[in-house]
Amino acid sequence: MPLSRRTALAGGAAGALAWPEPAGALGSDEQDWAEFRQRFLLPEGRVVDTGNRNVSHSEGQGWALLAAQRANDQPSFNRILSWTLANLRRPSDSLHAWRWAPDSTPPVTDINNASDGDLFIAWALVEAAERWNQPELMRRGLAIARDLQRACFFNLGRRWFFLPGAYGFRNASRVVLNLSYYALPAFHALGRLTRDAAWTRIEADGLALLQEARYGRWGLPPDWLEIDLQTERLSVARNWPPRFSFDAVRIPLYLCWGGSARHVAVQASVEFWMHMEGRPIPAWTDFRGDQLAPYPANAGIASVAQLARAAREGRGAPGLMPRLSAATDY
């Protein structure tokens, strides 16, 4: 969804940027949250992915929890959390199944977690605990953080990695990563509250990994990356399209949000988007021949492009950002 002004402001001081053309006037967080709630949140607290068979994801639940907390909407927060715990909570730990599908029986057919979904749920819980003085939310959030460390932190030689899920992303020869799961501000928050240096190490190693994992004409990070367990060589992951696309576009967002707007991955992303000056930003680029998507990026990607360019140039948040109403679906 298009980013709110508060999210954008995490990139730096106030400023203005008129590129690419904004889809509408800037509105308040409360307006955007109210529209999101109306369009994508069911009364029982389930966030609906309207562009994908109306399924729900732990990531969407986590994002909605964080947004409700930031908007100080405690009733919505409680409904989202109740649905999440009742329908996605795994029986063996504090993590959550990654998908709930209304057209499946049962709706959860894979209890593997998505580490970014659990990361956002944990972050939202600990922030809500501090805002509303709810110790039980803090307990739940820190329990998720501990289980993420146990199940999704992986050591290889001199580095630690953040696995996309508890299983299915490593075998005897390789480990597969999604670098858009490295949400730096969530690492900051959980590291501060757990007082565990492992979160700082994961962040530092992730920043270093993003220095190296760059491909194609513009030196962009891929959606999916693999590391050879014997040589530690990095390459674009097999079995996924070799692209900077709907996953990797979150990398410059999280770098800016986490205070690393000068990182080379942000610079490369901005250079790619600026190369399209005067033309619509493409939804993705494929590293095979640097092919561009035949259709334009959506409003959310345009928001990240604006934020990243302004933050990289030290001009802070753009004055105008696409509104949530510009999003055609979830």
Give 13: exposed, middle or buried? Use CB within 10 Å, 0-12, 13-18, 19+: exposed
240-to-178, 225, 245, 272 alpha-carbon distances in Å: 11, 9, 11, 21
Number of structural domains (the chain) is: 1
Q: Which domain holds residue 66?
A: 5-326
pTM, rounded to two decimals? 0.90
Active site amino acids: 59, 116
β-bridge mates for residue 286, sequence order: 243, 291
Residues sharing a CB contact under 8 Å with residue 288, sequence separation 6 or more, in sequence order: 242
Q: What is the rounded CA–CA span in Å between residue 253 and residue 34?
A: 23
Here the CATH number for the domain that contains residue 55 is 1.50.10.10
Which amino acid appears at position 274 of this protein?
M
Helix, strand or coil for residue 322? coil
**37, HSE (Cβ side, Cα atoms, 13 Å):** 22
pLDDT in tens, the chain (330 residues): 333 333 332 332 222 222 333 333 334 677 889 999 999 999 999 999 999 999 999 999 999 999 999 999 999 999 999 999 999 999 999 999 999 999 999 999 999 999 999 999 999 999 999 999 999 999 999 999 999 999 999 999 889 999 999 999 999 999 999 999 999 999 999 999 999 999 999 999 999 999 999 999 999 999 999 999 999 999 999 999 999 999 999 999 999 999 999 999 999 999 999 987 788 999 999 999 999 999 999 989 988 998 999 988 887 666 667 778 888 888
Question: Which H helix or E strand runs over 236?
Answer: strand 234-236
Give 147: exposed, middle or buried? Use CB within 10 Å, 0-12, 13-18, 19+: buried
